Amino acid sequence: MDLTKTKPLLSIFIDFEKAYDSVWREGLMVKLYNDGIKGKMWMWINAFLSHREARCMVNNYKSPWFQTSIGLPQGSVISPILFNIFIKDIFKSVSADCCKFADDATIWHSHSDPKVIQEKLQKDLNQVQKWSNDWRMKLSIQKTEYSIFSKEKNKVQNIKLKLGNTILKYNPNPVILGLKLDEQLNFNSHIESTVKKAKRSLGIIREIKGIALIPTKTLIQIYDSLVCSIFNYASSIWQSSTSSHLDKLNEIQRKGLALCLDLPSQSSLEALEVLSGTLPIDLRREEMAIRELGKINSYSNNVPIKRKFEIWKEEKNPEKFISPLGKMYQQTEDMKDQNRTRSMNTKV
């Protein structure tokens, strides 16, 4: 989602109602056959899905066994693969940009005229609904929603999108794959959510410390597992947030390390990081961003994010608002410059 230009971007987040439990098994077997999965493999999968039984249990009461005719077995290692095969053509007739991960599906479009965006996405949403009707997958009217992203406030208004006869809800802060978005994509909302999660984890450490005598080294390991993992998640994306919000994470780090080291909570953050051997949060974000861009560079050109990155590099347009990709690229180039400087100094 590129907001480096002034065009607003409208996105629809599509949600299936009981996704895995609603898969039409006969339709799935047709798709497998058409994709070249035939013979014994096709017969094995068909036998695996056929004649499955279930029953309900409430307290000590158990219902009689009954056969299920739809859905994929929850917990089976093959179910995610079968589900991906089943929905792989959901965007076949969609003209907008789109992506999907498991049962999370998203379509979006950007244009200077909001009405053009609305018309285009409404047509695409109608195509998605037609696909869901054809393949007996029910879309969740309550959870399918749309969001508008724009760096210019109040530029897009009076957008109405319908799923069937129901107007979609507008969500200013959608959550996709654990990342909380906001209208201007400054990720302040995500950081606020991250701070709350980190504080809850600090509370757990405080309780553990209060009931048992735990070595400092072990406490630091627990802090790294419970708190730093929260800071690390998708940090290469949200690191472009405002400094005032990023500083809130440093305050959590200060309190967390002080708790583990049994020192005053107002101790110097730098000293606490040195004593505990903990990497500063900003350096950890930078390290993860550089690693992430390295992974993107290692992909073949048919991988969507690699194609996006190559297009972004070819355009070479200065960004009015630095994007997550631009930030990662900048950090990587800075690291290369530092390495070249060190190499030259070593030779001298």
Helix, strand, coil percentages, rounded to 5, for the chain: 50, 15, 35
DSSP state of 241: S
Whole-angstrom CA distances from 72 to 22, 85, 233, 273, 301 are 8, 12, 30, 48, 33
Residues 122 and 271 in one domain: no
| Per-residue model confidence (pLDDT) at position 5 | 56
Q: How far apart are CA 179 and CA 187, in angstroms?
A: 9
Alpha-carbon gap, residue 104 to 179, rounded angstroms: 13
pLDDT at 144 (0 to 100): 94
- Residue 3 domain-assigned (yes or no): no
User: Which of 180, 197, 212 is at the close of a domain?
Assistant: 180
Q: Are residues 148 and 244 in the same domain?
A: no
In a domain, 205, yes or no: yes
Contact yes or no for 4/327 (Cβ under 8 A): no
Question: Same domain for 15 and 109?
Answer: yes
**102, part of any domain:** yes
Whether 155 is covered by a domain: the verdict is yes
Residues 225 and 309 grouped into a single domain: no
Within this chain, do residues 277 and 206 fall inside the same structural domain, yes or no? yes
Each residue's pLDDT tens digit in the chain (348 positions)?
A: 455 556 888 999 999 988 899 999 999 999 999 999 999 999 999 999 998 888 889 988 888 888 888 899 988 999 999 999 999 999 999 999 898 888 889 999 988 888 899 999 999 999 999 999 999 999 999 999 999 988 775 656 678 999 989 999 999 999 999 999 998 888 999 999 999 999 999 999 999 998 888 999 999 999 999 999 999 999 999 998 889 999 999 999 999 999 999 999 899 999 999 999 999 999 999 999 999 999 999 999 888 888 888 888 887 665 656 788 888 888 888 888 888 887 777 765
Cα–Cα dist 292/7, whole Å:
27
Among 287, 318, 335, identify where a domain stops.
287
User: What long-range pairs does 154-159 form, CB within 8 A, spacing at least 24?
Assistant: 155/8, 155/114, 156/8, 156/10, 156/114, 157/114, 159/10, 159/114, 159/117, 159/118
Radius of gyration of the chain (CA): 25
Shared domain for 193 and 278, answered yes or no, is yes
The candidate with the shortest Cα–Cα distance to 130, out of 91, 167, 83, is 91
Instruction: Check whether residue 194 and residue 272 sit in a common domain.
Output: yes
Residues 140, 14: one domain?
yes
Same domain, 70 and 97: no
Q: What is the pLDDT of residue 213?
A: 87
198 located within any domain: yes
What is the pLDDT, as a whole number, of residue 262? 94
Q: In this structure, what token pair is assigned to residue 96?
A: 């907008």
Determine the structural domain holding residue 146 and report its residue range.
9-19+91-180
**168 and 118 in one domain?**
yes
Whether 242 maps to a domain, the answer reads: yes
| Any domain includes 224 | yes
Q: CA torsion, points 149, 90, 160, 308, in degrees to nearest 10?
A: 20
Question: Which of 85, 104, 120 corresponds to the end of one domain?
Answer: 85
| pLDDT (0 to 100) of residue 317 | 63
Cβ atoms of residues 3 and 322 within 8 Å: no
pLDDT number for residue 249:
96
Q: Residues 6 or more apart from 5 whose CB is under 8 A from it?
A: 110, 320
User: Do 110 and 14 fall into the same domain?
Assistant: yes
Q: What is the pTM of this model?
A: 0.83
Question: What is the four-CA torsion angle of 202, 205, 210, 211, rounded to 10 degrees?
Answer: 150
Phi, psi (degrees; rounded to nearest 5) at 57: -135, 125
Residue with tokens 């070593």, as numbered in its chain: 346
The DSSP result for 321-338, as a single string, is: S--HHHHHHHHHHHHHHH
The whole-angstrom separation of Cα 199 and Cα 188 is 17
Q: Which two tokens stand for residue 62?
A: 């158990």
Burial 61-90 (b: 16+ CB within 10 A, else e): eeeeeeeeebbbbeeeeebeebbeebbeeb
- The two tokens of residue 206 are 């405080």
Q: Quote the pLDDT of residue 235.
A: 94
Q: Is residue 293 domain-resident?
A: no
- Which pLDDT score is estimated for 113? 85
Residues 221, 266, single domain; the answer is: yes
Question: Residues with Cβ < 8 Å from 104, sequence gap 6 or more?
Answer: 13, 15, 176, 177
Report how far apart, in Å, the C-alpha atoms of 8 and of each of 28, 187, 190 are. 38, 17, 21
CB contact set of 22 (below 8 Å; sequence gap of 6+): 16, 70, 71, 136, 137, 138
* Domains in the chain, number: 4
- With 0-12 / 13-18 / 19 or more C-beta atoms within 10 angstroms meaning exposed / middle / buried, residue 16 is buried
